[in-house]
Amino acid sequence: MANVKKNDVVEIIINDIGSGGEGIGKYEGYTLFVKDTTVGDRALVKVMKTGKSYGFARLQSLIEPSPYRVEPRCPIASKCGGCQLQHMDYKKQLEYKENTVRNCLTRIGGFKDFTMEAIIGMEYPYYYRNKSQFPVGRNKDGSISIGFYAGRSHTIIDTDHCYIAAKVNIDIIKVMRGFIEEHQIEPYNEENHKGLLRHILTRVGYKTGEVMVCLIVNGKDILHKEELISRLRTIPGMKSICLNINKDKSNVILGDKIVPLWGEPYITDYIGDIAYRISPLSFYQVNPVQTKKLYETALDYADLHGDEIVWDLYCGIGTVSLFLAQKAKMVYGVEIVPQAVEDA
């Protein structure tokens, strides 16, 4: 076993991917996990932390890039904690995810002889996400920061543009940034629990184009709200603007109370031919393109003939329930969140 120490710089070849998307390689038998690498990379890495049987390292330079390596579309992909695999070819990403499921079935589940069908990927894996949560804070220079948390931290990576979220978010964040700066709306500070605006939550109907903006606040109201409403209403598709009250001293994003500011308390979207009502607290699958494929596959596998009674546990707003109801005799949904039940 190699005598690997912190701050050592060593050369390794990445031969596997970990559960968090980090590359895995060995240096003289010692396993190292390295963020921002992929299978086939030959790299110089700096050891940052060591344990008895494995350690963590940081990519220093690529000696020979993997044939599966691509340039991330997002310029902050390596900093942001939202995406871990943008530097990997999408087909290779699908292969990795398929192998992850297979390994869970064999290593954890103990299954040996089973047939696993090929994973079903997306035709265009960008701008699909229908829900986004943007933390609000301040940069070191005091300017407003809106974006996403860096990996394993609450440091906000400032950005107006997420390449997997609905494009309308670009306009929403620009409006919100201007409003916050102009009216000096103070972002929430996690350390002293002061400040008002914690997060900006958006939900978008993939098929309908309807848009919801929900501001999570550490208070009861927000100043200059009529002006804010006027600005947000200029964004095409805007249907719902509301506040979510969260005064808890915790990392939980949403509180329980919703205060409508303008429009409907929900937006509507479709999965297949079925319309769903989506409110701020409702669970709804974030990838509508793949959700449709998933539900159609589940309905096909269920092989319902019209005389079955189906129970959908933890049903949320009833997305699966209503899909299965197309062919079942009766579907019962069980859910604990009152707002989700109301939406269903």
Query: Where do you find CATH 2.40.50.1070 in the chain?
Result: 131-270
Mean pLDDT of the chain: 96
Distance CA 171, CA 174 (A): 5
Q: Are 248 and 227 in contact (CB under 8 A)?
A: no
According to the CATH classification, is domain 9-64 in 3.40.50.10490?
A: no
H or E segment at 238?
strand 238-245
Determine the CATH number of domain 131-270: 2.40.50.1070
Q: 274-343 belongs to which homologous superfamily?
A: Vaccinia Virus protein VP39 (3.40.50.150)
pLDDT digits (tens, 9 = 90+) for 19-69: 999 999 999 999 999 999 999 999 999 999 999 999 999 999 999 999 999
Q: Are 339 and 279 in contact (CB under 8 A)?
A: yes
Query: Where do you find CATH 2.40.50.140 in the chain?
Result: 9-64
pLDDT digits (tens, 9 = 90+) for 164-185: 999 999 999 999 999 999 999 9
Query: Where do you find CATH 3.40.50.150 in the chain?
Result: 274-343
pTM, 2 dp: 0.93
How big is the chain, counted in residues?
344
